[in-house]
Amino acid sequence: MTAIPRLAIPLSTGALAGMLARLAGGVGRADDVAAFEHAFAARYGRPDAVAFCRARMGLYHLLRNLGLSDGAEVLIGAIHVADFVNIIRLAGFTPVVVDLEPDGFRLDPGDVERKLTARSAVLIATHLSGYVHDLAALRRLCDARGMVLIEDCSQAFAVTFRDRPAGLWGHAAVFSLSLLKSVCALNGGMVIAEDAALVARLRRAAAEQGPARRGGLAAEAVRNLVIKATTQPTVFSLAVLPLLRLTAATGDGFSRYQKTNKTVALRRALPPAFCERFTGAQARLGLALLADLDSREARRKANGRLLRAWIHEDAAVRLPPHCDDGEPGYWLFPLVVAEPARLKAFLAARGIDSSPMLLAALSAEEAFRDLGFTAPNAERTRAHTLFVPMYPGLDEARVRRIADAIAAFQRSG
């Protein structure tokens, strides 16, 4: 029986190899960027979208172009790519961390209320693992207070709330196009917004970015190829999972390789790599993945729905709460587990790989200690989260194997 790797790289080997070959000749053409932006915008019924070199830079330029006053506060959920805290500060504003609901991944409405002040200007709602927020409620709250709602849809590309896509409920939305994202362009961040004048300002900001270095893109293509090769089922079964099991005592080596930002620091300036243009070569990768995005995400959601139905919660294994009006997209499949290390080992012994949370609990990061963040629920949930495999290519038999193994773990008490 072959093992089930924790993840699947969405880009094909051919696309990645083609990218490396193309990079030898240059970074591609601006019209490919425009075509990708238009195709992306069209999915959301927007006239335009703007691509940046990273989602966090999309957020940076959004924040700088909203006309916020000095000292404005930007509320952000407590489990996030840690660098978003730096981005808010470097854009000139004050990050305020909001705790998440108990055992779950959406903002805790009670903590949102507690953290609001007269200076609150922006609320970022991040749909972690595709667990969509009650977007009607968040939009109402923001409109009532004159705040801007920004959705981070990096983990929610084909997710709806009340039949309307996540990404259209906020005044603006950012989508990361980085490693493993449903539309991956090696790196990148797409921004859509309601206000056409805001989009025009973002377009000017994007045009002011510097040229992209090919080295960085080539390195990212190689990283995708390495992860793709090591998660190929036979290689993974015979070599990678046995190695991970042998070295489990020293932590999860795969996560360490996968993780882009290995250390978190308080930045004083934007690194030069964040001030590069999104390239035509990347746009072609993105366009290829946009073409079958909906069918891939439909398969992922069908798998997620099955697994969710087959898991019976108990004190040892819980499922995160979700909205009645919005089905999760299951970009990842998180379990909240009393003893995650024990479940990880139990699954690995049955050929099922799993992963801890890679994102930071912002309130627990040493680098942010002086920023006064508090989020006890999120810290606890992060420590108890285990992601089991969930991607479009899983078949029903494998989903069943995962569910059966979790049930066996629960019986093992």
Ligand X SMILES: *Cc1c(COP(=O)(O)O)cnc(C)c1O
- Decide whether 165 or 347 has the Cβ nearer to ligand X: 165
- Decide whether 56 or 318 has the Cβ nearer to ligand X: 56
**Least distance in angstroms from the C-beta of 393 to ligand X:** 20
- Rounded to whole angstroms, the Cα distance separating 255 from 218 reads 21
**Least distance in angstroms from the C-beta of 7 to ligand X:** 13
167 lies in the site for ligand X, by CB under 6 A:
no
- Decide whether 10 or 348 has the Cβ nearer to ligand X: 10
120 lies in the site for ligand X, by CB under 6 A:
no
CA angle 71, 149, 359 (to 5 degrees): 85
- Decide whether 65 or 187 has the Cβ nearer to ligand X: 187
189 lies in the site for ligand X, by CB under 6 A:
yes
- Decide whether 58 or 280 has the Cβ nearer to ligand X: 58
- Decide whether 152 or 252 has the Cβ nearer to ligand X: 152
182 lies in the site for ligand X, by CB under 6 A:
no
Of these, 55, 85, 285, 361, which contacts ligand X (CB under 6 A)? Answer: 55
**Number of residues forming the site for ligand X (CB under 6 A):** 12
265: left (phi > 0), else alpha (psi -120 to 50), else beta? beta
54 lies in the site for ligand X, by CB under 6 A:
yes
129 lies in the site for ligand X, by CB under 6 A:
no
Of these, 6, 56, 277, 284, which contacts ligand X (CB under 6 A)? Answer: 56
Q: Are 334 and 320 in contact (CB under 8 A)?
A: yes
154 lies in the site for ligand X, by CB under 6 A:
yes
398 lies in the site for ligand X, by CB under 6 A:
no
176 lies in the site for ligand X, by CB under 6 A:
yes
Q: Which stretch binds ligand X (CB under 6 A): 114-122, 147-155, 161-169, 365-373?
A: 147-155
152 lies in the site for ligand X, by CB under 6 A:
yes
- Rounded to whole angstroms, the Cα distance separating 192 from 21 reads 31
78 lies in the site for ligand X, by CB under 6 A:
no
**Least distance in angstroms from the C-beta of 359 to ligand X:** 7
Nearest to 78 by CA among 109, 105, 51: 105
Structure tokens at 246: 């042998």
178 lies in the site for ligand X, by CB under 6 A:
yes
**Least distance in angstroms from the C-beta of 267 to ligand X:** 13
* Binding residues vs ligand X (CB under 6 A): 54-56, 81, 126, 152, 154-155, 176, 178, 181, 189
